[in-house]
Amino acid sequence: MNFTATPGTRERVTLTEVGTRDGLQSEPALVPAAVKAGLIDAMIDAGLRHIEATSFVSPRAVPQLADAHDMLALVHRRADAHLAALVPNARGAERALGAGVDEMVCFVSASEAHNLANLNASIASSLSNVGEIAAVVNGAVVNGAVPLRGAVACAFGCPFEGEVDVDAVLRIVEAYARLGIDRLTLGDTTGMATPPTVARLVEAVRKRFPEQRIALHFHNTRGVALANVMLGLDLGIREYEASIAGLGGCPFAPGASGNVCTEDLVYLLEESGFSTGIDLDALIGVAQRMEGIIGRTLPGQVMKAGPRLRKHSLDGARRAVG
C-alpha cells in the first residue's frame, strides 16, 4: 500500500468541514447564529472552501439548527467558498434555495432501523423524498444550478442492525444515480468503519458505478478514522468530510462520538505530501475558538500539540520539568 502522494507532486485533497452542522447538532446548548457565522468566516479565512454549514430540518427535531436561514445571511460570502446545507425533504430544499446555498445534501441510511430512528421513515419513503428534493432542485432557477449531493448514512455498519450489506448501500447509490445525483458521500455515521470494510465498499461502488465521484465521511468512535482515511487515500479517494476539533456525533445513534478531526486530518495530509490549501495554524485557532464556545475539552489532538516542527522555548521546558 502507498499512503503518500505521488513523488514529485502535491495532489490536492478536498475537505468539507461539517462542524457547524454535524458537530453542533449534537450539542445541548444553542450556539447563537452570529457566533456560528463567525466560526464559518474564520474557517474560510483559514482556507476551507467547502463547508456543510447547517441543516434545514424541522426546528423541533434539531433546535440547534433552527436559525439556518438567519445564520447563513450573516456569513461573509465569497465566490470561491461553497456553503452546503443538509435537507430532509422538498420543503427543506425550498428553504435552502431561499437562503442561497451553494449545494444541498440529501441523505438516506443503508440501515432500515437507523433510517427509522433518524428520519422516522422507511428507506423507500426517504428515497421518495429524495426524488421530491431533486425535483425542487432541478426546477429552480436561482443563479444557475445548485448541485445535489447524496449521502448514505450507516454505510459501514449500524448500531441497531450490525453489519450492513454492501448491496443495501449499492441500492441507494443506484437510486441516487437514477435521479441524476453524481456526488456521493459514504457515511460512517457511528464510527463502525475499518480499513477492510472501507476497501470492500469503495471497490464495490466503483465496480458498479465507475464514473461516480466518492467522498468519505468517518467518525472516530473507535479511534480508527485516520487509518480509514489512509486506506481511502490508497484507493485514490481525494474527498473527505471532517469536523473542527473533532466535534460531533449522531444524536439518533447510541455510542456515536465525534467526527474525524479537521485539523488532525489536515496535518496528516500535508505531512503525507498532499495539498489541502488550508493554513493549519489558522485552523488550530478556529478549533481552539470552538472549544471555548462549547466549554469543554474537545478530542482534537493537533490543536493541543501543534504541528510536528513547532519549536518551543528550552527555558520554558526546563521550568516545566523543574
* Chain segment 264-293, per-residue pLDDT in tens: 999 999 999 999 999 999 999 999 999 999
Residue 71 CB burial class (10 angstroms; 0-12, 13-18, ≥19) = buried
What was the pLDDT predicted at 4? Answer: 65
Start-to-end CA distance of the chain, whole Å, equals 45
Query: Is 0.85 surpassed by the pTM of this model?
Result: yes
Q: What average pLDDT does this structure show over 167-193?
A: 95
Question: What is the pLDDT averaged over residues 153-180?
Answer: 95
- pLDDT of res. 309: 79
State yes or no: pLDDT of 36 exceeds 70.
yes
- pLDDT (average), residues 56-72: 94
**pLDDT (tens digit, 9 = 90+) per residue, 105-148?**
999 999 999 999 888 899 999 999 999 999 999 887 544 579 99
The cell for 299 is 478530542
Q: Which residues have CB under 8 Å from 1's CB, separation 6+?
A: 231, 234
Sequential DSSP letters for 77-93 = --TT-EEEEE--SHHHH
DSSP 158-217: BTTTBS--HHHHHHHHHHHHHTT--EEEEE-TTS---HHHHHHHHHHHHHH-TT-EEEEE
Check residue 261 and give its pLDDT: 97
Contact 42, 278 (CB under 8 A): no
Q: Which of 25-29, 71-75, 150-154 has the lowest mean pLDDT?
A: 25-29
Q: Assign 10 a pLDDT band (cuts: 50, 70, 90).
A: confident
**What is the Cα–Cα distance from 232 to 272, expressed in whole angstroms?**
13
Mean pLDDT of all residues belonging to the chain: 91
> Does position 14 have pLDDT exceeding 90, yes or no?
yes
pLDDT at 143: 47
pLDDT score recorded for residue 8: 60
Digit-coded pLDDT (tens) for 204-258: 999 999 999 999 999 999 999 999 999 999 999 999 999 999 998 655 555 556 8
Q: Can you give the pLDDT at residue 254?
A: 58
Per-residue pLDDT at 26: 85
DSSP string, 223-287: S-HHHHHHHHHHTT--EEEEBGGG----TTSTT--PBPBHHHHHHHHHHTT-B----HHHHHHHH
Active site residues: 250
Q: What is the pLDDT of residues 48-63, one digit of tens each?
A: 999 999 999 989 889 9
